Amino acid sequence: MAEFFIIGICVILLISYIFDITSKFTKVPSVIFLLALGWSLNQVGGLFNIIIPNLNVILPILGTVGLILIVLEGSLELELNRKTKGVVIKSALIAFFPLVIIAVGFAIFLQVEWDIPFKQSLINIIPFCVISSSIAIPSAINLSHEKRQFVTYESSLSDIIGVIFFNFATFGTAITLSGAFYFSGQFLLMILISIVASLVLAFLLAKIDHHIKYGPIIILNILIYQISKIYHLPALIFILFFGLVLGNIDELKNLKMLRKFEFTKLNREVKHFKDVVIEATFIVRTLFFIVFGFVLKTDDIINKDSLVWSVSIVISIYLLRAFFLKIGKMDLQPLFYIAPRGLITVLLFLSITPKDRFPYLNESVVIQVILITTFIMMIGLIFEKKIKTEVVKPSNAELESEVAE
């Protein structure tokens, strides 16, 4: 039995790799194939009466490790210098304001219409407000450098802002001014811990000569994250800082205390470390979406009662997105379409305690919002391909004119 299980996992990962390669040609996000594959495996297992253990237990574990790796991968890609200052600020604002407006707006609606406490309403709606970098970044591979850079910054920052906002909403028994000050204190403490720990880990990465070094560094990241979570600290800040420190290590050359540091070796190690993180993220993300697709219920996908909530959330997402992209003077095509929900949405939703759950924002709404936003992105990227083809290909009249000249 174990042999068949191992063979199955290997085949699934290889199929996922094929999905990942072909997605830049088909314009279909690999997450759709993964979800469909997971769901199909469940249906086949049911037909042949194959007994499979409850996979819902491992979903939060895969999601947490996936979250850490995705944010680490995204922060390693973020360049912080004078050249990128404009796009970083713009992407941060476009990631922040729609997220907060949708969350607060729906929370107020639930409080007024359904008499749900504001804190509970906020907890339930935040998961739907976060752009999934695990879907957006790979899907933007064929875009121009500027657009791809914006998608990377915006989706990575959306993940980070969304998780921190969710941590704040779930902090304490109620949202109060004193609670906000206390959370701010913890936030600053976590920043201090993150700076020190990031520099120490960067130093270890440069100094360790053992042939095994990248795995322990990733494990230490997960360990520090989980310990910080136990003490209710905004743990994702550490992952963000560590990635930013490594991704922008050249910017630290001007610091007096680091002038004697061997940056050439560290730059080489950072490149290798980034490659390892990308590979690990691919494996964990694949397993997460396969398992998530496997535990999907057909009734949840086609639940008509949930469509009102799902469509309302999706409309709000794209109305605000169009508004802020216009204000930011960004090209709507295809950036308007790239606002998928995914792993972070599922993980935050699973983090909501049963007593805080709002019954109408259920698994069906999560699944439908993820599928609708991902399909919209797919359509937008296919349309982008047509536009590029039309622009690049000259008309017959133009060709005849050039020949005549």
Domain ranges of the chain: 2-404
Record the pTM: 0.83
Query: Residue 261: what pLDDT?
Result: 60
Query: What DSSP letter does each residue of 245-288 carry, written as one string?
Result: HHHTGGGGTT-GGGTTS-HHHHHHHHHHHHHHHHHHHHHHHHHH
Average pLDDT over residues 140-148: 83
Can you give the pLDDT at residue 392?
Answer: 46
What per-residue string of b and e applies to 95-121 under the rule 16 or more CB within 10 Å gives b?
bbebbeebbbebbeebbeeeebebbbb
pLDDT in tens, 186-240: 878 888 888 888 888 888 887 888 888 888 889 988 998 888 888 877 777 888 8
Asked whether 151 and 364 are in contact (CB, 8 A), the reply is no
CATH topology of domain 2-404: Na+/H+ antiporter like fold (1.20.1530)
